[in-house]
Structure 1
């Protein structure tokens, strides 16, 4: 197996959630570590994939909202500073994959499956291999202990239940 590195300057680990039942709030985690072990990134079938996200690095482009998300109302960063993902099964479907793994948020672990699209491979201007992937899944935040909400006068709630997690990765061989 070869170790591969996620190029964080060309990758994003993001999410989106309904806000006030009418729009979406998007954000990302700016700090994370990853481990990808695979013989060949054009066939992830036997790969091992792991991510650790620094919850304090959450960035929704609103300091007040980010601070609320870090508080005990949501992620409780003081007690649960990381979110983790560990792959448990990878199934190839044409050029794409279903990557199933254990997602842990606030010490609650649930299986999730990402739909992963292989974006292709190429060489950068310095002759290094570069691979691209896009992945997406949807989780119910309440199943992970993220239950804070408030009712709206017009009906509905402030924060949607479903969270879309969207990952765009550029991956290179570890140096």
Structure 2
């Protein structure tokens, strides 16, 4: 295959996260609004140009009060920092259909280099003749690296919200 433009299919894609709550439970959530600009040969991502963005106001943890708190100045501060962005700067093939994708992640006014594991899941043609490609993305980041330090101490020790955030994306894209 040759390098082509691919358009993200948001109805068949998802951006999810999980974080420890009270040091022993896990809270999961996701974002309903996100976009990607992809120019790639999906069978060899090493030369791909990838930019990804997330509308942080679209956070959804299935709890309105928690979502509003995440949008507030205590966390994302969406009024001043509405978007998370990622721009790939280096892509290294680590195994058949597996890559380490490193790039600049910008969140809450801070930009750091982060690496995500990306798996190429395959291509196919949908019933309407559109060529599609699937990708799975996994990674972790520390929210404190981005100035997201709000927390509450627990009476028995520890804190309410963990620092490590696990990221999981399932992406489907259509060849432009």
TM-score bracket, shorter-length normalisation: over 0.9
Partner of residue 98 from structure 1, selected from 100, 115, 136: 100
Q: What residue in structure 1 maps to residue 43 of structure 2?
A: 42
Q: What residue in structure 1 maps to residue 167 of structure 2?
A: 165
| Structure 2: stretches of 5+ with no match in the other structure | none
Q: Structure 2 length as normaliser, TM-score?
A: 0.95
Kindly report the root-mean-square deviation, in angstroms, between the aligned alpha carbons of the 2 structures. Answer: 0.9
Q: Structure 1 length as normaliser, TM-score?
A: 0.96
Could you tell me how far apart the structure 2 residues matched to 1:95 and 1:55 are? Answer: 30
Q: Deviations over 1:84-113 (max 9, x none)?
A: 100001111221111000000011000000
| Structure 1: stretches of 5+ with no match in the other structure | none
Could you tell me how far apart the structure 1 residues matched to 2:147 and 2:125 are? Answer: 43
Q: What residue in structure 2 maps to residue 72 of structure 1?
A: 73
Output aligned runs, 1:17-166, within 5 Å. Answer: 17-38=19-40, 40-93=41-94, 94-166=96-168
Q: Secondary structure at the match of 2:144?
A: helix
Alignment coverage as a number of residue pairs: 173
Q: Secondary structure at the match of 2:157?
A: coil
